[in-house]
Amino acid sequence: MAHQPSSNLDRLSESELTAKLELDLLPKHVAVIMDGNGRWAELRGLPRIAGHREGINSVREMITLCLELGIRALTIYAFSQENWNRPTHEISALMGLLEHYLSTERASLIEQGVRFRTIGRHDLLPQSAQHWVRTTEKETAHLDKMILTVALSYGGRAEIVDAVKALIGDVQTGTIQPNQIDETTFKKYLSTHPLPDPDLLIRTSGETRISNFLLWQLAYTELCFSPTLWPDFRRREFLLALIEYQKRERRFGRVLSTVSS
């Protein structure tokens, strides 16, 4: 279902929206497909990279709001495996932006107590980007106010294939017996381990697809599709998505009266 802020909510201020939230029923893990940067720029007659650059401000606001609300896990899709098929100049601009973000924002992540992690095939990133990813992961490894996971060169199908390969390796060495393999064991081989599955997935820009993101982990996630382009998706829009999430009934295949969580 598309996210349609009611006109009622539209009139409310940010603090009135915050007051509408039930703080003990917030999602523990939010995942975001940050889409629409290119269209945001094109609408303004700017190069696509200007949209990616502006999108960083939305990332910053979302991290801050998660910290304020006590949402401890945020996973953002920054670059998909399929995004390698974009024009070379856009890929290099995105990699440059990633390096710039990590080198300039590292101090603020540390100050805010944010642990930075990445998922995806980093070995495909340029050396200098890999350097900044490793440095930021290392320097924030001890922090625990929030875990920010950035999906870079990530594909959900590739993640599952990699997990299967690692599992087969452990079967071959006898670390695990085939009859011990179940969903709980398999999950440990996924790159998001030990994060819980996302409770809420937000995709911006009006597209209503998953685009190869967290295919296993999203099995029972509430999906919120917002028409807003990512660079315009700020605190207000995030609060509206959280309010919509709190209106949902999460049944996990059961009938409502038996769902305890």
Residues with catalytic annotation? Answer: 35, 83
Our finding on whether 40 is near Mg ion (CB under 5 A) is no
Task: Residue 121: count other Cβ atoms within 10 Å of its Cβ.
Answer: 16
Is residue 256 classed exposed, middle or buried when 0-12, 13-18 and 19+ CB atoms within 10 A define those classes? exposed
The distance of closest approach from Cβ of residue 142 to ligand IPE in the complex, given in angstroms and rounded to an integer, is 28
Token pair 């490793």 is at which residue?
134
Q: List the one residue out of 74, 80, 42, 82 whose CA is nearest residue 58.
A: 74
Q: Pick the piece of the chain touching ligand IPE (CB under 6 A) from 6-14, 58-66, 100-108, 207-215.
A: 207-215
Residue 226 is a binding residue for ligand IPE (CB under 6 A): no
What ranges make up the beta strands (E) of 42-189?
73-80, 114-119, 146-154
Residue 211 partner contact from ligand IPE, Mg ion, none using kind-dependent CB cut-offs of 5 to 8 Å: ligand IPE
Is residue 198 a contact point for ligand IPE (CB under 6 A)? no
Q: Would you say 77 or 225 has its CB closer to ligand IPE?
A: 77
Q: Assess contact for 231 and 37: CB atoms under 8 A.
A: yes
158 lines the binding site for ligand IPE (CB under 6 A): no
Quick check: 94 binds Mg ion (CB under 5 A)? Answer: no
Q: Which of 103, 112, 211, 246 binds ligand IPE (CB under 6 A)?
A: 211
Whole-number Å distance between alpha carbons of 170 and 181: 11
Indicate which single residue of 27, 30, 35, 225 sits in contact with Mg ion (rule: CB under 5 A).
35
70: its two tokens: 């006590």
Place of tokens 């094109």: 42
Least Cβ distance, residue 157 to ligand IPE (angstroms): 14
